[in-house]
Chains A and B, each alone.
Chain A
Amino acid sequence: MDPTHQPKHHHHDHAHDHDHDHQDVPSDLTLRVKALESLLVEKGLVDRAALDVLIDTYENKVGPRNGARVVARAWVDPGYKKRLLDDGTSAIAEFGFSGRQGEHMRVVENTPQVHNLVVCTLCSCYPWPVLGLPPVWYKSAPYRSRAVIDPRGVLREFGVELPEEVEVRVWDSTAELRYLVLPEQPAGTEKLTESELAALVTRDAMVGVAKVTMPPPGVRS
């Protein structure tokens, strides 16, 4: 089994009805990955249990709920917000969120005058400790190519129409700095508790492709 070989025939073999960004996944990739893993385990290069812990960490433990807690804290605690904007890495570490792909954090604040949008045009840089692993659209060519040249068009596709007078700042993550958007707190949420606020904060809002909104009346968050 040659893990490097390029199969001549490509076809979709996944059962989901979603679309992998028009990219074909070779049907034998499952086998090729299994073969490589067996080889690495056999050679003592990889501990299979370590793989399971890594997968469990990013599937179940690290994700945008982390970032949402950071944002909610910043909304209710002006001292925390100041620390967060001054030194994102340390302020985020107050929650115990740190490390891989978030070693150097910068938090950028949305205001009525400024809207921030984060992209990595060159690859897929994303703040893992606060947002988890990036969604497919963030890593895909359409978003990476257009976010810098047409941020307002991209935002429109996500349902965000910005007035001309708002300044759009796009952050292209070319170095090891990782960016988190601090969204604006929606009006009418002043009485909510920190955890109620955290429940409103979405991944997309922390990337900058959405705003945080109040759920429609009658919908419990």
Chain B
Amino acid sequence: MNGVHDMGGMHGMGPIQVEKDEPVFHEAWEAHTFAMNIAMGAWRRWNIDASRYEIELIPAPQYLRMSYYEKWFIRLVRLLEKTGLVSPVELQTGMPSPAYAKAVPPLTADQVPGLLAPGTLASRDIPGEPRFQPGAHVRARNLHPTGHTRLPRYARGKVGTIYRHHGVFVFPDSNAHFLGETPQHLYSVRFAARELWGEQASPRDAVYIDMWDNYLEPA
């Protein structure tokens, strides 16, 4: 979706504010929001792409006003509701519904290292030659899906060069909507800064974007 989250190249966002000796979490609620997101992810009712999309669905004015972990909190609440893990009434009252059956958490303290250390691979071992080889000229397609995509707006319609083939990876545009992983070749594509931003950019600089095969066409 053409949301405000897709902000590469925008002006007017203000100066970069660096906090010296910044703590990992500023407040306890941030730490707990972070941990709950990961712990609830262990139920495997959603995937990373769906969880990113949920943040993108936060209306733009709120997205820009909210702090990072507030967005994580809202995202978690929405996912809990959508997947039925928690009912709207339970969220309203803060109490389990009288009929609830107590579940067994899929992630206990001793299982945390075993969850984090391998992580979740996004690559898929599927044979097949990539459509493009390093050095090939490609154009990022001019797509404007209303759903989730990882094709940034600033690259659409621009011509770049295949820098590297990463392998075959889960396709976020379908996975985010639970329409399947539809794994496909993923490439690192080099875009000259001047192709993206015109004469004002340095003639030497470039932006490298990871792009799935579906985002590309020969140029």
CA A37 to CA B29, docked complex, whole Å = 10
CA A166 to CA B193, docked complex, whole Å = 14
Q: Which residues of B contact A177 (CB under 8 A)?
A: 166, 186, 188, 210
Check: A191 CB closer than 8 A to any chain B CB: no
Interface size bracket, A side: 35 or more
Are the C-beta atoms of A170 and B208 separated by less than 8 Å? yes
CB within 8 Å of A: which B1-52 residues: 5-11, 13-19, 22, 24-29, 31-36, 38-40, 43, 48, 52
Are the C-beta atoms of B207 and A172 separated by less than 8 Å? yes
Check: B211 CB closer than 8 A to any chain A CB: yes
Within the complex, the shortest CB–CB distance from A91 to chain B, in Å, comes to 16
Partner among A45, A121, A165, A174 whose Cβ is within 8 Å of the Cβ of B7: A121
Within the complex, the shortest CB–CB distance from A130 to chain B, in Å, comes to 13
Give the size of the chain B interface in residues (CB under 8 angstroms). Answer: 100
Are the C-beta atoms of B111 and A50 separated by less than 8 Å? yes
Residues of B in contact with A (beta carbons under 8 Å apart): 5-11, 13-19, 22, 24-29, 31-36, 38-40, 43, 48, 52, 55, 62, 64-68, 70, 73-74, 76-78, 81, 85-86, 90-96, 100, 102-105, 107-109, 111-113, 115-123, 150-152, 154, 166, 169-170, 172, 186, 188, 193, 196-197, 201-202, 204-212
- List 26 contacting pairs A-B, 8 Å CB cutoff, sorted by A: A3-B73, A4-B74, A23-B65, A25-B67, A33-B32, A36-B73, A36-B77, A36-B94, A40-B36, A43-B100, A46-B107, A47-B105, A50-B108, A55-B25, A57-B112, A101-B119, A103-B118, A103-B121, A103-B123, A123-B52, A140-B16, A157-B15, A168-B205, A172-B210, A175-B212, A176-B123
Residues of A in contact with B (beta carbons under 8 Å apart): 1-4, 6, 10, 14, 16, 18-26, 29-30, 32-40, 42-47, 49-55, 57-59, 63, 98-104, 106, 119, 121-124, 132-133, 135-137, 139-149, 151-152, 154, 157-158, 164-177
